[in-house]
Amino acid sequence: MSSLSPLKNIVATIGAIGALPSDSEQIRLLKRIWTITLALGAPLSAGIGLVYLLLGRRPLAVFWLISAGYWFFSLFLFSVVRNHIGNFGWSSQAYLVLSSFVMTCLMGGMFRSDGVIFMGLIGVLYAMVFPSRPRAFVMLLLYGLALAAALALEITAFRADAVRPAASTIIFWAIFINVAFFTVVTIYYFVGQRDRAFRLLEAEKERSDGLLRRIEKDLALAAQIQRDFLPRRDPRLEHYDISGANVSCREVGGDYFDFVPVDPHRLGIAVGDVSGKGIGAALLMAALRAAFRADVHPGYQIEGMAAKLNDFVHYSSAISTFVTFFYCEADRTGDEIRYVNAGHNPPLVLRTDGTLENLDSTGFCLGMFSGAVYEAKSVRLRPGDVALLFTDGIPESRNAAGEEYTMDRLIAILRSNAHRSAAEIVSAISAEAKDFIRGAEQCDDQTLVVIKKT
């Protein structure tokens, strides 16, 4: 086994010529086969050329020496370029087929050229190794035509019955045997490399499957934890009917809504949307929830709470990350709802007389600027009025035709269901949005909260 180690190292070194870290396993395999073939073919061609030179057959010697130079130059050029293996393979295949036919004709036939035509078979072989069926078919057709033409010329023009030296016959069959041996060795190496690639692929697949199972398990756990963060039931507050819902577009998402009792009379209601999607957004959402709940207590100020959350997000996340956030406080002893809107989609307030109001932004999105200041405003809700808080995943959702849901559609479904309970309005909007995008992938998280004055 030790005597084979240097040979294996040499083969590995030659096979690594032209390799790039970005190559796929298939490209690596093609490069190894091509470079090792050239490394074998170049000295073999040079050796045959020297033999012919010693025998005094200069034309054949020149041909084989030119071939050796071509293979050496191709190998050197590929070691510099290290790309376009398909083009290098194509040029080698075409050279093998065409040069063997040209030399056969120049030497006066198949026997007088000692069977050089058989060298073209190697070109056909490599056309089959390289994964291009049209190219392999063209090369096979080209070689078939060249061989047929050589046979026709042998019979008609090149006097195949002429007396030949015994050495020519020996060389003819020697070349044939060498080509056959070379072909067998190449196929053997190719099969070995292919099997190695399959083994590596299978091992990689097993590792990937294991990793995928772990990721799926972790995502399922993360999704469950995130669901536990959201309210499990609708809150109860005298004179108000309140309900909410959230649908993530992935296992975990960046949308957030919450109901937080401030004291026996007041209820805090929050809706947020973290920029981005997936695990990163979900982690920031979890951190935001913890900070938000820590800042809401009986003696807090809405403006100060929003400013603290802004600085927390600014210093706890990437510079390109932000959160749109709406928070309001409902008091069962009065009709006014105080709120701050940190760059969030303006909630809608639908009055019993059909008029519609927007609760516009009162400050920047959370995390955009350090030390941002927020203004608290209030809106009066009368019996029958409905406030709709939502994230942009609903009006900006698209169906399979690329059509957007739009705010107009959202307002229309709100108007047609305003007489119903908050939970029924939430269900109607959710069902309408789901039916609208049927056949298309949900591209963003969807969250909505309905506050109805009773």
pLDDT at 155 over 90: no
> How much is the average pLDDT of 46-53?
87
**3-state secondary structure string, the chain?**
CHHHHHHHHHHHHHHCCCCCCCCCHHHHHHHHHHHHHHHHHHHHHHHHHHHHHHCCCHHHHHHHHHHHHHHHHHHHHHHHHCCCHHHHHHHHHHHHHHHHHHHHHHCCCCCCCCCHHHHHHHHHHHHHHCCCHHHHHHHHHHHHHHHHHHHHHHHHCCCCCCCCCHHHHHHHHHHHHHHHHHHHHHHHHHHHHHHHHHHHHHHHHHHHHHHHHHHHHHHHHHHHHHHHHCCCCCCEECCEEEEEEEECCCCCCCEEEEEEECCCCEEEEEEEEECCCHHHHHHHHHHHHHHHHHHCCCCCCHHHHHHHHHHHHHHHCCCCCCEEEEEEEEECCCCEEEEEEECCCCCEEECCCCCEEECCCCECCECCCCCCCCCCEEEECCCCCEEEEECCCCCCCECCCCCECCHHHHHHHHHHHCCCCHHHHHHHHHHHHHHHCCCCCCCCCEEEEEEEEC
Q: What is the pLDDT of residue 193?
A: 66
| pLDDT value of residue 355 | 95
**Is 212 among the domain residues?**
no
For residues 244 and 147, state if they share a domain. no
Q: Which domain holds residue 157?
A: 2-207
**Shared-domain flag, residues 123 and 257:** no
Which are the contacts of 177, defined by CB distance < 8 A and separation ≥ 6? Answer: none
Q: For residues 45 and 67, is the Cβ–Cβ distance under 8 A?
A: yes
Structure tokens at 57: 């057959």
Q: Which of these, 436, 393, 391, lies nearest to 412 by C-alpha position?
A: 436
Q: Is residue 216 part of a domain?
A: no
Which of 139, 275, 129 has its CA nearest to residue 190? 129
* Range scoring the smallest mean pLDDT among 29-43, 65-79, 185-199: 185-199
Q: 14-48 pLDDT, tens per residue?
A: 778 878 888 877 788 778 878 888 888 888 889 88
pLDDT tens digits along 350-359: 999 999 999 9
Single-letter amino acid code for the residue at 196: R
Residue 104 — very low, low, confident or very high, per pLDDT cuts 50/70/90?
A: confident
The answer to whether position 263 is within a domain reads yes
The residue ranking higher by pLDDT, 278 or 336, is: 336
pLDDT at 173: 67
Same structural domain, 318 and 349: yes
Say if residue 164's pLDDT is above 80. no
Indicate the burial class of 129 (C-beta count within 10 angstroms; 0-12, 13-18, 19 or more): buried
Question: Does 331 share its domain with 362?
Answer: yes
Average pLDDT over residues 155-161: 69
Same-domain check for residues 75 and 152: yes
Highest-confidence range of 17-26, 207-216, 265-274, by mean pLDDT?
265-274
Look at residue 110 and tell me whether its pLDDT is greater than 80. no
**pLDDT tier for residue 1 given thresholds of 50, 70 and 90:** very low
> Do 148 and 201 lie in a common domain?
yes
Q: Is residue 296 part of a domain?
A: yes
Residue 396 has pLDDT above 50, yes or no: yes
pLDDT attached to residue 161? 54
Closest of 59, 114, 61, 70 to residue 96, by C-alpha: 70
pLDDT score of 372: 94
Using alpha carbons, select from 264, 259, 257 the residue that is nearest to residue 241. 259
Inter-residue contact 231 to 257 (CB < 8 Å): yes
**Does residue 220 form part of some domain?**
no
Alpha-carbon distance of 395 to 388, in angstroms, equals 13
Give pLDDT tens digits for 291-339: 999 999 999 999 999 999 999 999 988 888 899 999 999 999 988 999 9
Q: At 413, is the pLDDT very low, low, confident or very high (cuts 50, 70, 90)?
A: very high
How much is the average pLDDT of 61-74? 90
Q: How far apart are CA 259 and CA 145, in angstroms?
A: 82
245 and 132 in a common domain: no
Mean pLDDT computed over 240-260: 85
- Picking from 176, 207, 238, the residue at the C-terminal end of a domain is 207
Q: Is residue 108 part of a domain?
A: yes
Q: For the beta carbon of residue 151, count every other beta carbon within 10 angstroms.
A: 14
Residue percentage of the chain with pLDDT more than 70 = 88
The model's confidence at residue 52, banded by pLDDT at 50, 70 and 90, is confident
Q: Domain check: are 333 and 423 in the same one?
A: yes
Mean pLDDT is lowest, of 96-110, 114-128, 187-201, 400-414, for: 187-201
Looking at the structure, do residues 287 and 162 belong to the same domain, yes or no? no
Give per-residue pLDDT as tens, 118-146.
778 777 777 776 666 777 788 888 888 88
Domain count, the chain: 2
Would residue 67 count as lying in a domain?
A: yes
What are the distances in angstroms from CA 223 to CA 183, 210, 390? 57, 20, 21
Domain co-membership, 58 together with 151: yes
Q: Residue 408: which residues within 8 A CB-CB, separation 6 or more?
A: none
* Residue 103: partners with Cβ closer than 8 Å, 6 or more residues away: 60, 63, 113, 116
Q: In angstroms, how far is the first alpha carbon of the chain from the final one?
A: 88
CATH of the domain at 269: 3.60.40.10
Domain match, 363 and 449 both: yes
Structural domain includes residue 218: no
Same domain, 133 and 243: no
Mean pLDDT of 222-236: 80
